[in-house]
Amino acid sequence: MAQIPETSPAFPAPGPAPHSTGLKWFLVIVVGLILVIGIFIATFYIADNSHPGVKVIRMEGQLSTGDFSDATGVGSEYVGNQLRDAANDPMVEAIVIRVDSPGGTPAAAEEIISDLEYAKTKKPVVISMGDMATSAAYYVSAHGDKIYANPDTFTGAVGVIWTFSDISSWMKQEGYNVSVVKSGEKKDMGSTSRALSTDEREYAQKIVNDSFERFITDVTTQRVIARSDIDDGRVIRGSDAVKINLVDKLGNLNDAIEGAKELADSRK
């Protein structure tokens, strides 16, 4: 009698363990995130800097202390933070400061210089002058490793000025009267309602002289410049500035960027 062979019950083929599938998806997500972040960083640097390896920082308008940048000027903290960020960025090999400024306050220049000197300990800092880089803007520029200017850039104007206005004659004519109660004889010095006294004028001149001495001593220490070539405070064209070592080379922003790259390469 024929026997029907016994058959084993059918079971589905074992699938991957649940924890193994979860691990694979986790790895896929992590790799995807890394790719997205990498693309984002690359896009940021391409958009932010069209000159790979060189960070261009703009110092434009009137210089004063503060953390701001607008159509009229720029603050020392704003410029300084950009300098420090670029100095600490491993993807930046050199820094170019594009200067287009008539100057500003000595304190603002001194704050920027402090951050510029920090940046120089990390990588080359090159100056590119646009239309103008005078007074406090030149004060900052003198600390660059190399300075580029256009033939007709206005630079120099090394000096300090303090302006006082006196409209007391007009006020008297119009019938205005000002009464002042003060704690010290110089407390209202500079008021437009009266002229400076002789003592106040001498005091103001001392402040200007002391500030100027610090300014010109610093500039002539940073660069080999004859004091007599710049102590009259005049504006100097780029072409003439090269002749007295106020500027290193004539060239535009692209020339300065190439010069910065060369300095960076020479230090590797």
Among the listed residues 24, 172, 182, 187, the single catalytic one is 187
Among the listed residues 64, 76, 101, 135, the single catalytic one is 135
Residues 6+ apart with CB under 8 A from 97: 57, 58, 59, 79, 83, 116, 125, 126, 127, 128, 140, 141, 144
- Cα–Cα distance between 90 and 79 in angstroms, integer? 19
Q: Which amino acid is at 226?
A: A
Q: Is 187 an annotated catalytic residue?
A: yes
- Cα–Cα distance between 218 and 210 in angstroms, integer? 12
Residue 232 neighbours by CB distance under 10 Å:
10
Q: Is 120 an annotated catalytic residue?
A: no
Tokens of 165: 């206005």
- Altogether, the residues listed in the chain come to a count of 268
Residues 6+ apart with CB under 8 A from 226: 220, 244
Contact yes or no for 142/170 (Cβ under 8 A): no
Contact yes or no for 138/158 (Cβ under 8 A): yes
- Cα–Cα distance between 151 and 240 in angstroms, integer? 8
Contact yes or no for 126/87 (Cβ under 8 A): no
Q: Which of 152, 156, 150 is nearest to 230 (CA)?
A: 156
Question: Which residues are known to be catalytic?
Answer: 135, 187
